[in-house]
Each structure stands twice: as C-alpha cells, then as structure tokens.
Amino acid sequence: MEDKGSFSFRWIIVGVSFTTLALTSTIIHSFSIFFVALLKEFGWSRSITAGAYSLFMILYGVIGPFAGGMVDRLGPRRVFVLGSLLWGMGLALCSLIHSWWQFYIFFGVIAAIGAGFTGWVPNTTVIQHWFKEKRGLAIGILSSGIGIGIFVCIPSIQHLINRVGWRMAYRVMAFFIPLVVITLTIIFLKRSPRITSSTPITQETYPAMMRDPLIVNLEWVSRSWTLRKAIFTKSFWVLSVSFFFSSLINQSILAHHVAFFVDEGLDTLFASYIVGMIGIVSIGGKIFWGTLSDRIGREITFTLVIACSICGILLLITFPIFSSPYIPYFYALFFGMGYAGTAVLPPLITADFFEGRAYGSIFGTIFILNSVGGAFGAWLGGFLHDHVGNYIPFFIIVIACALLACFNIWIAAPRKIRIVPGKKAFRFKRNPAS
C-alpha cells in the first residue's frame, strides 16, 4: 500500500519533469524562428539550414536509449544535470556561428546530445517508474509541458530576437534554461522512483494476475522484458514504424510552418503567435488524449488524433488558395490537437507492451526511429521547397504518412495485450503480438 507521502511526492516528480520537458522543448521548437533569422542573415538554402535540425533530431533520438537506461540504473538527477550543462554550452556556442557547419556542430550535435538527456525518453521513463494507475493522466500532464514551452517561450524568444538579435537570444537561453533545470533537479530529484516491473507467472502470482481485469495476454505481460527480448518481437518494429511516421508529421511541420506563413505574407511575430497557439492547444490536448485513451482505448484515440493532424495540414494546403485570416487559427487548433496526441500516446502504448525495469531502454530504442522520422521530415520539407518552390507536395506526403502511422497502431493492437481501465477485458488464449 502506497503511503500518502509517496503519493504526493510522485506528483512533485511530475511537476519537475513537466518543467524540464517544457524548457527542453523550447530549445527544440525555437528552431522554427531561428530558422527564419538564419536564412535572412546568411542566405543558406532551406535544406542546408533544416539539415541542422535533422541532425539534432537524429542524435536526440540516438541518445534516448542511453538516457532511458541511465535513468533506470542511476536515477534522473545525474542525467538531467549532465544534459543541462551540455545543451547550455551548445546554445552559447550557437551565438558565435558564422558558417553552416558550425551550426551543425553546436546545435545539431552538442545541444542535441544535451537535450537527449533531459528530453522525452528520460522524463517518460521517470513517470513510468512512479505511476501504474493514472499513467495516462500523468504522461498527459508531463507532455503538456512541451505545450507550455511552445506557448510561453517561443513568442518570448521571437520578441527577444526582435529586440536584441538572435545571437543574444541564444546567450540568454544558454544561461537561464540550464539554471532552472539544474536547480529543480538538485532540490527535488533526491529519491529513487518506485520501479514497476513485470512479474513472472508462478503458483503464487498466477491467481492474482488472472483476477487483474486489465490484463488480456497473461503470457506476454508476465515476461520480464529486456531490450534484447523486445527487439525480437513483431510489436516492437510495428510500433517503431508507426512512431517514425507520427514524428515525421510533427517535426517536419513544426520546423517549417513559420517559414510557410512568412512565405504567404504573414509577419514573423504573428507566425510565432500561431506557433504559441499550437502550444496552448496542445497543453489541454495532451491531458485530454491521455485520459481519453485510458477510457476508450489507444487505437481509437490514436485514430482521432491522426484525423486532427490531417485536418490541420489540409488547412495549410488551402491557405494559399483562400488566404482567409481565420485559417491560421483553425490550423493551430487542429494541428495542435493532433500534435498533442502523437506526443502523449507513444509512451503509453509502449508501456502497454513493455512495462518494467527495462522500459527506458526499450522506449528509448523505439524513439530512435521516432527521431529519425522527424529528422527526415524536416530535411525533406526543405529539400522539396528548394526544388519545387512551395510546400504543397510535401504536405500531401505528410498526410500519407499520417495514414500509415494510424494503420500500424491498429496492426500492433495494444488492446490485445492490456485493456485500458475504461474497457472490459477480453482475454486471448494465444499471443497475437509476438
């Protein structure tokens, strides 16, 4: 039985991870406004400039399994402090760049490695260790930190760029963001998380597992999962492909939408407000989708999420045709909701399959393909724009990727492993996902 002190402290952990993820996401998603400033000052091609973001996303993903595994073994405190120092140094060096290769090293490598140690995988690993019940709500609150980072920090950074220039903006970020994260980490992340692990079926545990209304596939759930075991399952790779495409949707659009709106005649500051609106929509959206998925199931919720993303992208396609002043706002609403869902659901779905001590390493490894998808999408958007002169063909490709992401979640079928609390359990005698 969990005592009240432990119950209260785990929500403090959510708050610390929420803040850490909000500030880390500021580094990631501020690229879209620095992107415009760098294009204006240096005249680099969009594919070359976006390539730094692609490199960032690849390394951010590659670091995931190491960061998740380190949190599993050492706890989050050392991991978060190391990450904060690295991306603080990377951002400070970004303020000194004069060529694209320097930006690739300072932002695409140093800042990316640091962000990997304070980003999505280590934070979701922390939450997964502290929560079994209400995990959807906890992950929803955690991931809404990304929305706060986008809503509050992105327009603020654009104001800062307008007033003091992009170089000084990088210096301000390099000092204050690590300071906040390191302070919170040292003060609050002293206790080790409660580890939730799969329990092998024995004579004693089998009756209890049989009575658990949420377990569908007893044989699957009772395995003591390791990364090696997970890699040899069909589910691991189907989920990886789905998350590859969902990340491609998010990161490619988030990297290029400010440039798209500026191309269509909107002011850069106004475009940053649209980005901020996506952030504020995603705050509530992540909590909503996480909670809803605990009630109606992961697959149905993911389908609704993809529908929102497609609606948002269709609005971008129609904007050059109709030029309605309301389209950017509706885009922010629909894409914000879609982005929220594709952020909050992957760690929940992964936990449905691979809950346990090795979750950080398993989800981190899946996250590599997730990040590669985002990296490829960001580069592809710039490449196609350089050769076609607009983003419309790219938006059509992104819609096709959204449909593929949805299809693969239904193929993976998390409902055949665990039933969410809002659904009645139906047991399968065989293991359909191995």
Which range, 77-81, 186-190, 216-220, 424-428, is most confident?
77-81
Spatial separation of the C-alpha atoms in residues 111 and 89, rounded to whole Å = 7
Spatial separation of the C-alpha atoms in residues 103 and 402, rounded to whole Å = 30
Q: What is the pLDDT of residues 329-383, one digit of tens each?
A: 999 999 999 988 888 888 889 888 888 777 777 887 888 888 888 888 888 888 8
Spatial separation of the C-alpha atoms in residues 24 and 120, rounded to whole Å = 9
Of 418 and 7, more confident? 418
At 147, the amino acid letter reads G
Is the pTM here over 0.75, yes or no?
A: no
Report helix angle 298-322 to 392-412, nearest 10: 170
At 234, the amino acid letter reads K
At residue 354, the pLDDT reads 87
Q: What is the pLDDT of residues 86-98, one digit of tens each?
A: 989 999 999 999 9
Give Cβ neighbours of residue 404 (< 8 Å, ≥ 6 apart): 241, 242, 245
> HEC profile for 197-223?
CCCCCCCCHHHHHHHCCCECCHHHHCC
Average pLDDT over residues 246-267: 86
Spatial separation of the C-alpha atoms in residues 423 and 209, rounded to whole Å = 17
Spatial separation of the C-alpha atoms in residues 67 and 36, rounded to whole Å = 31
At residue 375, the pLDDT reads 83
Let me know: does 19 contact 123? Beta carbons within 8 Å.
Answer: no
CA 45 to chain centre: 27
CA angle 237, 242, 243 (to 5 degrees): 95
Beta strands in 100-215 (DSSP E): none
Q: What is the pLDDT of residues 265-296, one digit of tens each?
A: 888 888 878 888 888 888 888 888 888 888 88
Q: Which CATH fold would you assign to the domain 13-186+211-416?
A: Growth Hormone; Chain: A; (1.20.1250)
Of 292, 306, 311, 332, residue with least CA distance to 404: 306
Spatial separation of the C-alpha atoms in residues 241 and 237, rounded to whole Å = 6
Let me know: does 340 contact 143? Beta carbons within 8 Å.
Answer: yes
Q: What is the pLDDT of residues 222-236, one digit of tens each?
A: 778 888 888 999 999
Q: What is the pLDDT of residues 318-332, one digit of tens each?
A: 988 887 889 999 999
Spatial separation of the C-alpha atoms in residues 251 and 119, rounded to whole Å = 15
The domain locations on the chain are 13-186+211-416
Give Cβ neighbours of residue 368 (< 8 Å, ≥ 6 apart): 61, 62, 64, 65
Q: What is the dihedral of CA 390, 393, 396, 402, to 10 degrees?
A: -90
At residue 13, the pLDDT reads 80
Let me know: does 285 contact 340? Beta carbons within 8 Å.
Answer: yes
Spatial separation of the C-alpha atoms in residues 291 and 418, rounded to whole Å = 16
